[in-house]
Chain A
Amino acid sequence: MDPKKVIVTLLILTIILSIATIAFQVFVGGKTTAVKSTSTDRATVGLYVQEHPVIDDSNVGLYVNK
């Protein structure tokens, strides 16, 4: 086995692993958690309105003889 080739291979591996470590830190280790800045909640107001009473007119009449 040629020692020079082994050395070169190992050094290349070193470089690749170092780059992988950096990439890992950038894309995984460096993530920040999104902070929630608003919140909403709902409430209901309800009622039941029955039919309103019907307003009716009435007449009062008379007939006056001559």
Chain B
Amino acid sequence: MNMTENSNLMVIAVLAVIASLAAAGFSYYATVNQSKITGYGTTSTGTTQLSVTSSVDINFSVASVNFGSGKVNTSALYAVLQTGTTVINGTWAGTQPALVLDNIGNVNVTINIKAASDNATFIGGTNASAQLNVTEKDVGACLTADRTTDYTLYREFNTTDPGTRFCNKLQYIAGKNRLQVDIKLQIPYNSLTGALSNTLTATATAN
């Protein structure tokens, strides 16, 4: 190998190292900055591609129903407490608003609701009952073909996983993404007394 050949080899090798360094730097820049350098365009139009990560998120925008303090009327076997209306056969005052569940993600979701405590633990007594009714807060929120319950039907709290399915496809589009959850309690004359509480857990799964 003569001197000229050696020089050529050295030039090529140095260029190779420079190219490798440039490739490493480019990779680092592209990864850190998330903005990718694209190819040079030769026409006035082009196509941009991007991917949007799906996000499943729900939120109780009204997350509490508190019926306050009261008791069953002396002559009655039980009182009925229901959101949106006044109490029957009891002294609980006022009208309580229903829970509101929002789909705040960017995909349609399936909604299941589960209760933490059964009727005996939550209310106690004879013929205690705790029910909920899920309806559309926004008209068309739960796609009609995917409704799983009659909107007029109250259903007992379900303490078994994954709870009761109330909507197969709750939309995420603003203005069509809210469900209303009404509560109806039957408090017998011999129920537990004091502060009673139950927790409802809504679970959303991408659909």
Contact = CB atoms under 8 A, between A and B. Distances in A.
Interface of A: 3-4, 6-7, 10-11, 13-14, 17-18, 20-21, 24-25, 28-29, 33, 35-53
A42 B63 contact: yes
A11 B197 CA distance: 73
B198 A45 contact: yes
Interface of B: 1, 6-7, 9-10, 13-14, 16-17, 20-21, 23-24, 27-28, 30-31, 53-60, 62-72, 74, 81, 91-92, 99, 101, 105, 109, 130, 181, 183, 185, 187, 189-206
A7 B3 CA distance: 13
Given A25-B27, A37-B206, A42-B201, A52 B20 contact: no
Contact of A46 (B16, B64, B74, B99): B64
Given A43-B60, A46-B197, A7 B9 contact: yes
A28 B31 CA distance: 8
A48 B206 contact: no
28 contacts: A3-B10, A4-B6, A7-B10, A10-B14, A13-B17, A21-B20, A21-B24, A24-B24, A24-B27, A37-B206, A39-B105, A40-B202, A42-B201, A43-B63, A43-B64, A43-B181, A44-B63, A45-B199, A46-B67, A47-B81, A47-B195, A48-B195, A48-B196, A49-B71, A49-B194, A50-B69, A52-B72, A53-B74
A25 B198 CA distance: 50
A40 B130 contact: no
Contacts of A18: 20, 23
Report which residue of B10, B13, B194, B196 has the largest number of chain A beta carbons within 10 angstroms of its beta carbon: B13
B176 to A, nearest CB: 18
B14 A45 contact: no
Contacts of B63: 41-44
Contact of A44 (B6, B27, B199): B199
Contact of B202 (A3, A17, A29, A43): A43
A1 to B, nearest CB: 10
B17 A49 contact: no
A45 B192 contact: no
A10 B9 CA distance: 10
A23 to B, nearest CB: 10
Contacts of A39: 56-58, 105, 109, 203-204
A3 B64 contact: no
Contact of B201 (A10, A35, A40): A40
Contacts of B99: 43
